[in-house]
Amino acid sequence: MFVTVETAARTAPASVIVAIDGPAGTGKSSTSKAVAAKLGFGYLDTGAQYRAITWWMLANDIDVSDPQAIAVVVDKPVIESGTNPSAPTITVDGTDVSGPIRTQSVTSAVSAVSAVPEVRARITGLQRAIAAAAAPGIVVEGRDIGTTVLPDADLKIFLTASAEVRAARRSGELKGKEASDLVTTQAALAKRDAADSSRKTSPLAKADDAVEVDTTELTLDQVIECVVTLVEEKRNA
């Protein structure tokens, strides 16, 4: 299902908004999709939206190292996010970009593009509209959801994990991976964390009222159960 700003304005507000933040490799995507599916909520991967606009910039030969060049064209691409947790989608100008946005070229450029204030304003507007349109609720995952995008979310979760575990998860599987691969992945994650945490506009940070969940020693099922329990407690409060 696709939700645009126009349709969002005609739809009743969500009854429950869950914000899940944290750095890469903490299990945000897997946890968020599973929690949304269990609760019958919508799901929004905000990182995919930033990757989508980055992909468009690269595809249209925009200099991603030039914030002014990015700002001039930031409103041109039409980005739509499907919020079905079982089959989330992302399109740009009607084209499915779920595969292309995961390429290394996009990964390397997304932090720089995401740091441009005009980009964050554009994407934040889309995210708020989608969250407002979701019923009976939505799980929104990202890096600044609880602090900037949806500061009034009903429940805020901040997922963490050790650097070593995050690198292993991002690489795929710990067993069978070369040590050099994991070191490289860990270095890339550290670089991304530093960029996201130090940007002037909406840096990666834990909201003061967020519940921190360390996933280092937890299985995915345990993390999902923990978050579902927190949501149910909030709904019943």
Indicate whether 173 pLDDT > 60.
Answer: no
Domain range enclosing 214? 2-231
- What residues does 16 pair with on adjacent strands? 137
Q: Is residue 16 part of a domain?
A: yes
The model's pTM is 0.83
Please tell me the least confidently modeled range out of 27-36, 47-56, 152-161, 177-186: 177-186
**For the chain, percent of residues with pLDDT exceeding 90:** 69
Q: Do residues 171 and 144 touch, judged by C-beta distance below 8 A? A: no
- Put the strands of the sheet holding 16-21 in their side by side order: 42-45, 137-142, 16-21, 155-160, 211-214
Q: Is residue 167 part of a domain?
A: yes
Domain count, the chain: 1
Indicate whether 230 pLDDT > 50.
Answer: yes
Please tell me the least confidently modeled range out of 52-61, 63-72, 158-167: 158-167
Q: Is residue 188 part of a domain?
A: yes
Q: Is residue 50 part of a domain?
A: yes
Q: Is residue 8 part of a domain?
A: yes
Q: What CATH number is associated with residue 12? A: 3.40.50.300
